[in-house]
Structure 1
């Protein structure tokens, strides 16, 4: 299953009041493993960023003044998310902004080319999930990191790609996965993940790099010791047949492998 963990930053809180997206960050996960494929883009919103929003994400008007318009990046962004299940913390907020942008673009193009998101992607809201799992508790992304012991100490301001990568760890932890975090300022991945915007740190999670578990076959001495142990259990317990078939099959497989 292909999933995209996604986050956005905006000029304010309500697209109906004319607010726009200024940053999109997304990471790809297939079969619960991060693939290393990311999407990260700053956007010129063609309007001023509210001071309250700037205090949250630290993105200034000057920072995005020379970035492309949403119309310039919309097709590449849509290609990245199309057909995937989107995992978003407080999904109505981000999906609302994406749909608002695509509606504006479709109107300008004179035809419905993109969206709505819900017609082309699955949507999983981790905030709704967290509220069901932890009723009556704080369920912000920071609170979930603390609850699931996920390191987000390097996160001072919100950033779309950084938050998406942290949310990937939170989602895996919430759904029974195991994750780990490595910080490495010299890794080539820093250029892909926009690490220069997070204090020079690149973020590389072990869930994306974990090798397949190797199967270690016992040698002849280890196998004989195992059989001896089973025999002692059998003698102590009386008549017991539970291990004989599996042991014989395994021993035959070991003989064939040699």
Structure 2
């Protein structure tokens, strides 16, 4: 017998059993509606047959299915015989401790900050704008070039101080006197202090020059602002005179 014939025979057998079960249920309903007879032999027989059929079907249902045997149940629910959709419980205990939630909160904060800045944003006051100095680009380029020159200047100063100290040391060696070591140390210290004073004086002169340039630029800006204010007032006066005329 081929497999096709076996499957057809099993299907026919199942259909016959289902038809028998339906007929038994129908007969039981008819008997329950009719008055109970004194002879209980046919009714008892029907009840036993129905109970046997029901128990047979229950036993068939209670048998473990093939899906439950061979499938892990990770993505398939054997009770509903369908695919599991989503999670019954959240896999994360704290939903606020996720990157998505933090990114959303950060986006909301930035948006609120931008809205606040737009609300507080005011027009630029032209009178408060201060242009850069006319020689700011030249000074920038000069500072870049002066970095290497400054190192050479420091080395030259140190070299000159060292030469002076060595020359004075040679002179003192030719003319030895008491306490020569203390005088040597004192002369070295005085030379170093003198060099430091010279360097500080140069830096102070540069600072004064920069301050004077800033004062001149500020005074020019104040004069320009005053001229602009005067022009605005004159324009307002002219407009008022024209309206009166």
Judge same fold: TM > 0.5, yes or no.
no
Q: What's the TM-score once normalised by structure 1's chain length?
A: 0.17
| Greater RCO (CA < 8 Å, at least 6 residues apart) | 1
Q: What's the TM-score once normalised by structure 2's chain length?
A: 0.18
Bigger share in helix: 2
| Structure (1 or 2) with the larger CA radius of gyration | 2
